Amino acid sequence: MQDYKTHYQNSLKDPESFWMEQAKKIDWFVPPQQGLSTDEKGFYRWFKGGKLNTSYLALDYHVNNGRAEQTAIIYESPVTYESQSYTYQEVLEETELLAGLLKDQGIEKGDTVVIYMPMIPQVVFAMLACARLGAIHSVVFGGFAARELALRIDDANPKLILTASGGVEIKRVIQYKPLIDEAIELARHKVEKVIVWQRPFVKAGMKEGRDFDWAALLKKSKPCKYVALDATDPLYILYTSGTTGKPKGIIRDNGGHAVALKYSMTYVYGVDPGEVYWAASDVGWIVGHSYIVYAPLLHGCTTVLFEGKPIRTPDAGTFWRIVQDHQIRVLFTAPTAFRAIKKVDPSGVKHQRFDTSSLRNVFLAGERCDVATYEWLKQLLEVEIIDHWWQSESGWPMISNSLGYEAFPVKPGSATLPVCGYDIQILDQDGAEQAPNIDGTVAIKLPLPPGCLPTLWKNDERFKASYLSRYPGYYLAGDGGYKDEDGYIFITGRIDDVINVAGHRLSTADIEEVVAAHQAVAECAVIGVANELKGQVPLGFVVLKGGVTISEEDLEYELIRMVRKEVGPVASFKQVIIAKRLPKTRSGKILRSTMRAIADDRPYSMPSTIEDPAVLDELKDLIALKDISQE
């Protein structure tokens, strides 16, 4: 077993040599001669000059090297009662044909393609087909509403959208096509073509001349070969929530991404090629991009595409059944999934029906793992549970127990130690390192390792302002935390207005924009409050316009509908409180962090800048009346 500490020190002392060594583990068309460089804008770039193709590495390489008959994708869909497997050869054939289809539709290197699809195999083919051509995909999560999709269309400017006629949410069919039609209507950028995968249980209406049937076009298409791309060419854009209503377009390159993900499978997850790896998430999130699609396939593993929920599809035994049926080695999901299972099956009766002995480890991320869930799961499964911390921006783990090295003892509540390549520091207000056990801001000394975002899509200024300007020479992660005397890092939560709802990253500013648009609302604040199941949920505070009379119940109903329609059901916006006024500083800034502390019943210090301290007592009374723990 290799020594983590030596590797980690080497990765910081000489990142160039460390990552050039790792880069040898992928099959470049032209290997890079250089690890790290800076581009014309002064941003760090990895492996400039190297040439590769991510779709080739994920498929052709394995087919050419003895894995053609190995299962690449297992599709498990308890909501449609389907279960299917695809070998590497089959996925390659599907991807080649779809790439041919896209090429016939005029898609070429550098074009952007939006993908808005449920968890079906075609979404994986779509991502890999884009990658094959050098087209930049942008997958948008299906739980986002038309307005959110339109925002992303306007930023990414896709030539074409790939979609499906619908998806299934537990027992409810979601029609995707009306959402696509509405988003195209709302967007300023006009999308020329929409290609629709028709699912048997829901038929999409088609607009003549713009919408085309995926299956019919495939029949006419010819397999298409991969193109050689520069390591620094973008592979995809993934939009993520920031502190404003406008999402940030995270760019991922091809070279750094492939090297980093390959490294992570061996050294972080401790997985071997040929093993079955299951990330129970959605391709619309970074976990899905990296650990449902790219990393397992780059590493020659079998990946599982799960169209369902941990409970009610059909019950809380679903996860355990899939682990047993497919001999899953590593399972990765958000803690909220296990909280959901624990809530309905606290004593693990459903688990007893299945043999989950194939499981070596469970990895958790997306939100803080509470100690109670950690203990419950560890006792139930009798394997080590690894909480690890990372973000859309990094694309792969930043703090983890790296299982390819010797494992460290777990301290519940901590994601353990920095992953190789990440010089993670806890800084105080002035940028000095905090002493052990003192809370501060999580920052990462530049350069970031391969795979991390080089900048934001068409927005270098926002990239600098959001991540680089707070502490020069460091990347600002947006989370708070502390290190203990052994260097273990404990993440305590976001330091901005980003919230995590059932492992889904959302912006309260985005929800606030919608609430503020209601005709009765004079001003509002949306904050994330603690929730037993989902970790956090948004809670709206509203001050009515003078002269308006509306009951809290009616306003709540209308606002919930508006947020579902404009942001999407995934926001889980379910509660509204009407207040006479909001707590503000003398300069008029809403004291959101104090409101959060009050709602979560946490201690807080009276802000010295508060306009009128009495407003906090009013707020406490209103919150007590509402009983926000119900939702």
Among 59, 129, 187, 365, binds ligand AMP (CB under 6 A): 365
Cβ-contact 406, 384 below 8 angstroms: no
| Cβ neighbours for 561, distance < 8 A, ≥ 6 positions apart | none
- Name the nearest CA neighbour of 158 among 182, 140, 143, 145: 140
Among 121, 503, 540, 583, binds ligand COA (CB under 6 A): 503
577 binds, among ligand AMP, ligand COA, none (CB under 5 to 8 A by kind): none
- Name the nearest CA neighbour of 263 among 454, 7, 487, 456: 7
The sign one gets for the Cα dihedral 311, 315, 316, 318 is negative
> Which part of the chain contacts ligand AMP (CB under 6 A), choosing from 143-151, 164-172, 308-316, 387-395?
387-395
* Separation between Cα atoms, residue 65 and residue 531, nearest integer Å: 48
Q: Does 313 bind ligand COA (CB under 6 A)?
A: no
Among 166, 256, 366, 528, binds ligand AMP (CB under 6 A): 366
Going edge to edge, which strands form the sheet with 248-253? 211-213, 193-197, 160-164, 112-116, 136-139, 234-240, 248-253
Q: Does 387 bind ligand AMP (CB under 6 A)?
A: yes
Among 96, 233, 367, 513, binds ligand AMP (CB under 6 A): 367
Q: Does 418 bind ligand COA (CB under 6 A)?
A: no
Q: Which residue, 338 or 471, has its beta carbon nearer to ligand COA?
A: 338
Per-residue CA distances from 28 to 32, 127, 231, 396, 416 (Å): 8, 20, 9, 21, 33
> Which part of the chain contacts ligand AMP (CB under 6 A), choosing from 273-281, 289-297, 351-359, 360-368?
360-368
What's the closest the beta carbon of residue 246 comes to ligand AMP, in angstroms? 16
Q: Which residue, 279 or 619, has its beta carbon nearer to ligand AMP?
A: 279
What's the closest the beta carbon of residue 425 comes to ligand AMP, in angstroms? 16
3-class secondary structure, 416: strand
336 binds, among ligand AMP, ligand COA, none (CB under 5 to 8 A by kind): ligand COA
| Cβ neighbours for 89, distance < 8 A, ≥ 6 positions apart | 63, 68, 69
Q: Does 475 bind ligand AMP (CB under 6 A)?
A: no
At residue 150, φ and ψ (nearest 5 deg) are: -65, -40
> Which part of the chain contacts ligand COA (CB under 6 A), choosing from 37-45, 329-337, 458-466, 517-525?
329-337
Among 388, 574, 584, 592, binds ligand AMP (CB under 6 A): 388
Window 412-471: residues binding ligand AMP (CB under 6 A): 415
Q: Does 479 bind ligand AMP (CB under 6 A)?
A: yes
Q: Does 285 bind ligand COA (CB under 6 A)?
A: yes
* Cα angle 176, 97, 301; round to 5: 85
What's the closest the beta carbon of residue 251 comes to ligand COA, in angstroms? 20
Which x/- pattern over 109-148 shows residues binding ligand COA (rule: CB under 6 A)? ---------------------------------xx-----
Window 481-510: residues binding ligand AMP (CB under 6 A): 491, 494, 500, 505
Q: Does 450 bind ligand COA (CB under 6 A)?
A: no
What's the closest the beta carbon of residue 538 comes to ligand COA, in angstroms? 12
415 binds, among ligand COA, ligand AMP, none (CB under 5 to 8 A by kind): ligand AMP
Which pair of tokens denotes residue 218?
A: 């495939």
Q: Does 528 bind ligand COA (CB under 6 A)?
A: no
- Name the nearest CA neighbour of 255 among 24, 92, 437: 24
Q: Which residue, 59 or 287, has its beta carbon nearer to ligand COA?
A: 287
- Name the nearest CA neighbour of 631 among 531, 517, 541: 531
Cβ-contact 422, 228 below 8 angstroms: no
Cβ-contact 511, 608 below 8 angstroms: no
Q: Does 177 bind ligand AMP (CB under 6 A)?
A: no
CB atoms within 10 A of CB 181: 17
Q: Which residue, 420 or 570, has its beta carbon nearer to ligand COA?
A: 570
> Which part of the chain contacts ligand AMP (CB under 6 A), choosing from 46-54, 207-215, 389-397, 547-555?
389-397
Q: Which residue, 147 or 309, has its beta carbon nearer to ligand COA?
A: 309
Among 334, 381, 444, 453, binds ligand COA (CB under 6 A): 334
Window 230-259: residues binding ligand AMP (CB under 6 A): 240
Window 226-245: residues binding ligand COA (CB under 6 A): none
Cα 495 from chain centroid (whole Å): 18
DSSP 370: P
Among 242, 256, 366, 404, binds ligand COA (CB under 6 A): 366
Per-residue CA distances from 129 to 64, 159, 224, 383 (Å): 18, 15, 9, 37
Exposed/middle/buried for residue 102 (C-beta within 10 Å: 0-12, 13-18, 19+)? buried
Q: Does 569 bind ligand COA (CB under 6 A)?
A: yes
**447 preceded by cis ω (within 30°)?**
yes
- Name the nearest CA neighbour of 180 among 206, 156, 157, 202: 206
35 binds, among ligand COA, ligand AMP, none (CB under 5 to 8 A by kind): none
Which pair of tokens denotes residue 149?
A: 């999709």
The site that binds ligand COA (CB under 6 A) totals a number of residues, namely 24
Q: In which element (H, E) is residue 8 found? A: helix 4-13
Cα 627 from chain centroid (whole Å): 30
List of residues contacting ligand AMP (CB under 6 A) = 240, 285-286, 365-368, 387-389, 391-392, 415, 478-479, 491, 494, 500, 505
Interface residues toward ligand COA, by CB under 6 A: 142-143, 167, 169, 174, 281-282, 285, 287, 309-311, 333-334, 336-337, 340, 366, 502-504, 569-570, 572
